[in-house]
Amino acid sequence: HHKATSGMASMTEELEKAQATHDAILRLVCALPDPPHLGASKCQPVSYDCFRALASPHASSRALLSDVQSGWSDCAKAFQEDNPDEVAGACGELRPKLERLACAAHKAARSDLEEHLSGNATCAWASVLENDAKAVWISGGSGGHRGVKSRDRCIESVALDVIAVAAREAKALEKSARHLATKPGYPPIGDCKRACAKLRKAAGLWESLSHAGDRTAIALLDALPENCGMTFEKRPPEATRACCAGAALLASASAQRCAIASALAQNKLPDSLAAKLCGGVAEKLEAARNASRDGAPKHHARLDRAAGNGAASDAALFRGLRAYFCAREAKAKEEHGVCVAWYRDAEARLAPAIVSTSGAGADRPRDLDALKKALQVARAAADHENSRIYYETVPAPKELRAPAGVKTMGPEAPLCLIADAEPVPLSAPTADDEALARQLAASFEEEGSLSGPPPPAYEAAAPAALSDEELARRLHEELNG
């Protein structure tokens, strides 16, 4: 009888240990990067009064201009309070209106803009991606360059305003998602479904900034003459497609982490699919670094170092988690030698110092230690069993074949491109009968906004096994239900 009781006790202990490891993994997966700031140190847009004369002949333009101006005052309040939900909301309201105005300025006759723009169109912003939180970039309006047309200065400044607003909205969504995913207490995860939706929206914003088309805010900057105040080198990272493409991948990797945590917490994730999803996260994190480093090396060098180190650390962590799930799967299939090799691989992935000094490991040191200890115990047990009973060869690390990564929770379709904005006219003010008749007609017209085609579906890479593919699809549907 005594033996049976001690057997029960050790089984309960085993289950408790397994649960503790499971919870530690959940907390590490949910420890999303925390943006250090939302750029509140400097937010000074163009004075949009400069368009007043050009908007005066058209009711729709006058209405848009006053919407933009009230949108800016809402943003200014939100920036001061520095609350991520307020910042995301205010920027999200203003962004499409500002894009319509940028589109209008781009399409307006050059001569009208040259003659009727008033004031000095400059803006000054702190970057939300740079290492130096106080680094301010100023559009070329006050650059003192002779011969720069006021039209070009104006387009440059308005395009930079669009970029600054979109980047702040995306960062604020990321910060808000971080708060949602890492609520303290038990269960060890927060509201991953809402966090995931915010991160996919943030990824969509970064992706729309990085879009290769010729009608985005960055394309407007590219089309300006060389002597305009800001050369490519002097642009902030968020005004380069490569850095925005990297930021989109980082936000999408975080969204995928929320999906993994949500499924793990409900015990709905088989080890085989968990391994593929963890591999997908690591691949996105590495692709993000490559995107900015290869596409805009000088801007990449100015990116926030803590964020870069965090992404490198988390990529190693997720490769370690992939190996852990592969080891569990091998054990279930009674591939004892392979199981030992995967546990060794998992330990090796988590060993580098960066894993504990940056990213989720630095954020959740006790959970990282708990995971490392659990791996050590599991590897020793598997090793012991194999060397005493099964005598299977343990493959060398380079012989291990990791399953192909599965990427899901991609960006929401690019939310807004300037091209899709409904244009409004900006032109020289005239006071003849024709213009008055146009004004009258315009004031009766409805302000209907055109909705574009449905967004393209995001395609996940096809995984090998059908059952995992089906599970991944259901997981995707559930999080977006």
Query: Read out DSSP for 98-152?
Result: HHHHHHHHHHS-HHHHHHH--S----EEE-SSBSSTT-EEE-GGGS--TT--HHH
Q: What average pLDDT does range 184-192 have in this prediction?
A: 78
- Residues 227 and 140: their CA atoms lie apart, in Å, by 9
Instruction: Show the DSSP H helices in 386-447 as ranges.
Output: 433-444
d(C-alpha 407, C-alpha 216), whole Å: 27
Beta-carbon contacts of 480 under 8 Å, excluding residues fewer than 6 positions away, are 197
Instruction: Determine the number of helices (DSSP H) and then strands (DSSP E) in the chain.
Output: 18, 3
What are 7's two structure tokens? 């057997």
Q: In angstroms, rounded to a whole number, what is the distance separating the alpha carbons of residues 152 and 139?
A: 11
Q: Is 107 exposed, middle or buried (0-12, 13-18, 19+ CB in 10 A)?
A: exposed
Task: Give the 3-state secondary structure of residue 303.
Answer: strand
Rounded distance between C-alpha atoms, residue 366 and residue 430, angstroms: 71
- Beta bridge partners, 303, equal 130
Mean pLDDT value of segment 425-452: 55
Task: Kindly state the percentage of the chain with pLDDT values over 90.
Answer: 70
Tokens 């750029």 -> residue: 39
- pLDDT tens per residue across span 371-380: 999 999 999 9
The residues facing 44 across adjacent strands are 124
Which range of 232-241, 344-353, 460-469 scores highest in mean pLDDT? It is 344-353
Residue 463 has pLDDT above 50, yes or no: no
pLDDT band at 323 (very low <50, low <70, confident <90, very high): very high
Rounded Cα–Cα distance for residues 174 and 84 (Å): 9
Q: Which of 231, 234, 235, 38 is nearest to 133 (CA)?
A: 38
The dihedral over CA atoms of 257, 263, 264, 265, expressed in degrees to the nearest 10, equals 110
Read off the pLDDT of residues 93-144 as tens digits, 9 standing for 90 and up: 999 999 999 999 999 999 999 999 988 788 999 999 998 888 888 886 444 5
Over range 181-195, report the average pLDDT.
83
Pick from 39-53, 374-388, 452-466: least confident: 452-466
Asked if residue 468 has pLDDT above 60, the reply is yes
136-138 β-sheet, strand order: 43-44, 124-126, 136-138
124 pairs with which residues across the strands? 44, 138
Cis peptide before 187 (omega within 30 of 0): yes
* Predicted model pTM: 0.89
